[in-house]
Amino acid sequence: MPGKIAMIFGVSNILWIVFAASQAFKIETSPESRILAQIGDSISLTCSTTGCESPSFSWRTQIDSPLNAKVRNEGTKSTLTMDPVSFENEHSYLCTATCGSRKEEKEIQVDVYSFPKDPEIHFSGLLEVGKPIIVKCLVPDVYPFDRLEMELLKGDSHLKNQEFLEDMDKKSLETKSLEVTFTPTIEDIGKALICRAKLHITETDSEESNPKEKETNKELQVYISPKNTAISVQPSTRLQEGDSVTLTCSSEGLPAPESVWSKKLDNGNLQLLSGNATLTLIAMKMEDSGIYVCEGVNQIGRNRKEVELIVQEKPFTVDISPGHQVAAQVGDSIVLTCSVTDCESPSFSWRTQRNSSLSGMVRIVRTESTVNLSSVSLENEDQYLCTVTCGHRKVEKEIQVELYSFPQDPEIEMSDLLVSGNPVTVSCKVPFVYPFDHLEIEIRKGETLMVNKYFSEEMDIKSLKNHSLEMTFTPTTEDTGNVLVCQAKLHIGEMESEPKQRQSTQTLYVNVAPTDTTVLFNPSSILEEGSSVNMTCSSNGIPAPKILWSRQLSNGDLQLLSETTTLTLISTKMEDSGIYVCEGINQAGISRKKVELTIQVAPKDIQLTAFPSESVKEGDMVIISCTCGNVPETWIILKKKTEMGDTVLKSIDGAYTIHKVQLEDAGVYECESKNKVGSELRSLTLDVKGRENNKDYFSPELLVLYCTFSLIIPAFGMIIYFARKANMKGSYSLVEAQKSKV
């Protein structure tokens, strides 16, 4: 190219040298020899002369083709205007000026080009990371394109350049392009893509090439297609009617994708729900079950993720109170309640295992139904079932009503009074108990278990029963103060882990029957008449025995005298002598003590009599009798006084009987009554007369006359004394005397 331009300049130099030889008439052009004109622009070539008043101008091209320009001549100047410049103007234009005979000629080379626009950058599509893309840079309407050089750069790095050195077989404007395929990366974001085009043409006459240059700068817009779309569900994908759920969608991409929520319809189509990443569904219904789709969307793609939500029918619940089982005491009231939640209008029905309808006692208030069992009896012991119907669903709950009866504390009974040493039977009774197959009774004495029993008998009929446990033991005084405990436990059903429990206690008090009853005389048990005596009785026993004083009558009966321990007799008389009985009495028994009180009286009122008379006839029967009055313990000695001494007569009970009285029986008879206290003497004189006829005479009744009070047993020495004094006339038998006394 520079070579060709040089060649053009060579030709004009030669012409200049030729015309310079003529003088005065000169021709000049502007531009001097060459002009580069862009197609479509407007240029003018000017030819002017000096040294000629009125020159004439003519313009032609070297190859005599049409000028394609307008000529205007003005004095010494001619202007050739090309407007617009076209390919037809690419010529060497010759301006010929004629002044008379002189002729001057000058040539101007017109070169054309076209480079009107900046390069255009085109992408084959959106730039996506990782996806090859074709970048095309276009330079439109370029001429001469064999001088075109194109270059593509990405940031600082060179992608491709190209020179278009092809032959130009005809003059035309062409669009040239440069194509590069590259794969964008994340690093390319924000980088510039530059397309630079250079047209190497020479502007001026200078030899130097001065390329025209245009460039286009485009920032790379790199995209990332949505991916990794994820859904989070709060609280769960399994829901119940009425619940709310929040679905949150996230998706990665550049630019950040937008999330779009849809629901998949039965026909597979999507129903748009929201353009928000967060989708909240409230008060869900079963129909809301299904597949929910989230799509992350940006300019270059979409990525979807699905989640299935399952909305279940909300189950309604039935609660029965007071629980699964309830224990009630016979006579109590119980209320069974069946309550429903999560059902608008439930319907209730109650039954028991035995009775299919309980309508009478049932009350229904909205979502609650109650059965009121007032004053329950054993017939109410049953399983109660509450059936709730809500829509087409049905739930049944049951409650076991167990009854028991245990209204009273156990009753402790003793067969007898507690007396030390006497076996006694203790019974512990638990009245009106049910169920008695789970009754346990035990009897304890203090801490010691005496007996226990578990009543596990079969219950063929439901009824209240008394149950008792018995035990026999022999109490001792040590048991006093100990506590007898009867404890009853009733184990009711399974639900009451602790048995019902009742107990009774009884403090033991052990009696001891009276013993060792003794009497103390003060001053003595033998007294002289007129003195006083205190008879004090004591008796041992628990509780302390009560003392009773009695006197034993002759028939053996007792006559109560006093209820004090001391019996005082003031100024005693002989009649106070006798048997006195002291009784020590308590609950446990009686202890008796008999004592004898003797009141001594000096003998008195002795009577000595002869029967039938003191004057009798020979052969009669006569009884001489000494009666001693009412003085006990008195010796009676019947004697007959003679000159030789006294003869003690053998008397029976103080009576001496002479069956056939003789004359010699006459005389003085003496009766001496004597005791410790004193003596008394009586005498009589029996007169016996001789008789003519002896006639027997006997009256047996007379024999009963005797001394009321027998002789007491004398001291041995005393008998001897009496015997000596009596001179042992007649006989005295001690044995006889004793016999008579008994």
Ligand X SMILES: *[C@@H]1O[C@H](CO)[C@@H](O)[C@H](O)[C@H]1NC(C)=O
- Under rule CB under 6 A, residue 172 binds ligand X: no
CA distance 537 to 535: 7
Residue 410 or 514: the one with the smaller Cβ distance to ligand X is: 410
- Under rule CB under 6 A, residue 244 binds ligand X: no
- Under rule CB under 6 A, residue 621 binds ligand X: no
| Least distance from ligand X to the Cβ atom of residue 526, Å | 13
- Under rule CB under 6 A, residue 155 binds ligand X: no
Residue 466 or 662: the one with the smaller Cβ distance to ligand X is: 466
CA distance 426 to 360: 49
| Least distance from ligand X to the Cβ atom of residue 359, Å | 6
- Convert 263-301 to b/e letters by CB count within 10 Å (16 or more is b): beeeeeebeebeeebebebeebeeebebebbbbbbbebb
- Under rule CB under 6 A, residue 360 binds ligand X: yes
- Under rule CB under 6 A, residue 524 binds ligand X: no
Residue 54 or 375: the one with the smaller Cβ distance to ligand X is: 375
Residue 203 or 409: the one with the smaller Cβ distance to ligand X is: 409
Secondary structure letter of residue 315 according to DSSP: P
Which two structure tokens, joined as six digits, stand for 576? 């106070």
Return contacts of 718-725, CB within 8 angstroms, 24+ apart.
718/635, 722/635, 722/637, 722/648, 723/648, 725/646
- Under rule CB under 6 A, residue 532 binds ligand X: yes
Contact predicate 464/330, CB 8 Å: yes
- Under rule CB under 6 A, residue 522 binds ligand X: yes
Give the SS3 label for residue 145. Answer: helix
- Least Cα distance to 409 among 437, 435, 378, 432 occurs for 432
- Under rule CB under 6 A, residue 333 binds ligand X: yes
Footprint (CB under 6 A) of ligand X, residues 665-704:
none
- Least Cα distance to 672 among 608, 599, 614 occurs for 608
| Least distance from ligand X to the Cβ atom of residue 434, Å | 12
- Under rule CB under 6 A, residue 568 binds ligand X: yes
| Least distance from ligand X to the Cβ atom of residue 337, Å | 9
- Under rule CB under 6 A, residue 22 binds ligand X: no
Return the residue of 181, 355, 559, 731 that touches ligand X, per CB under 6 A.
355
User: Three-class SS string for 482-522?
Assistant: CEEEEEEEECCCCCCCCCEEEEEEEECCCEEEEEEEEEEEE
Residue 355 or 477: the one with the smaller Cβ distance to ligand X is: 355
Return the residue of 501, 515, 534, 559 that touches ligand X, per CB under 6 A.
534
| Least distance from ligand X to the Cβ atom of residue 366, Å | 16
The region of 63-71, 191-199, 282-290, 526-534 touching ligand X under the rule CB under 6 A is 526-534
Which two structure tokens, joined as six digits, stand for 321? 């109170």
DSSP bridge partners of 136: 122, 179
Return the residue of 210, 299, 341, 374 that touches ligand X, per CB under 6 A.
374
| Least distance from ligand X to the Cβ atom of residue 246, Å | 10
| Least distance from ligand X to the Cβ atom of residue 408, Å | 7
CA distance 200 to 205: 14
- Quickly count: other Cβ atoms within 10 Å of residue 372's Cβ: 13
Contact predicate 560/483, CB 8 Å: no
Residue 455 or 635: the one with the smaller Cβ distance to ligand X is: 455
Contact predicate 741/708, CB 8 Å: no
| Least distance from ligand X to the Cβ atom of residue 276, Å | 3
| Least distance from ligand X to the Cβ atom of residue 567, Å | 10
Footprint (CB under 6 A) of ligand X, residues 429-488:
431, 466
CA distance 311 to 684: 150
Residue 168 or 361: the one with the smaller Cβ distance to ligand X is: 361
Residue 569 or 602: the one with the smaller Cβ distance to ligand X is: 569
CA distance 54 to 478: 181
| Least distance from ligand X to the Cβ atom of residue 372, Å | 4
| Least distance from ligand X to the Cβ atom of residue 363, Å | 7
Residue 105 or 576: the one with the smaller Cβ distance to ligand X is: 576
- Under rule CB under 6 A, residue 358 binds ligand X: yes
The region of 13-21, 214-222, 286-294, 357-365 touching ligand X under the rule CB under 6 A is 357-365
- Quickly count: other Cβ atoms within 10 Å of residue 358's Cβ: 18
Which two structure tokens, joined as six digits, stand for 433? 């108990």
The region of 234-242, 303-311, 319-327, 353-361 touching ligand X under the rule CB under 6 A is 353-361
Mark residues 390-429: x for contact with ligand X by CB under 6 A, - for none: ---------------------x------------------
- Convert 305-327 to b/e letters by CB count within 10 Å (16 or more is b): bebebebeeeebebebeeeebbb
- Quickly count: other Cβ atoms within 10 Å of residue 575's Cβ: 9
- Under rule CB under 6 A, residue 30 binds ligand X: no
Give the SS3 label for residue 4. Answer: helix
DSSP bridge partners of 386: 350, 397
Number of residues that bind ligand X (CB under 6 A): 20
CA distance 471 to 245: 75
Mark residues 275-314: x for contact with ligand X by CB under 6 A, - for none: -x-x------------------------------------
Amino acid residing at 393: R
Which two structure tokens, joined as six digits, stand for 122? 């085109």
Which residues of this protein are in contact with ligand X, per CB under 6 A? 276, 278, 333, 335, 355, 357-360, 372, 374, 411, 431, 466, 522-523, 532-534, 568
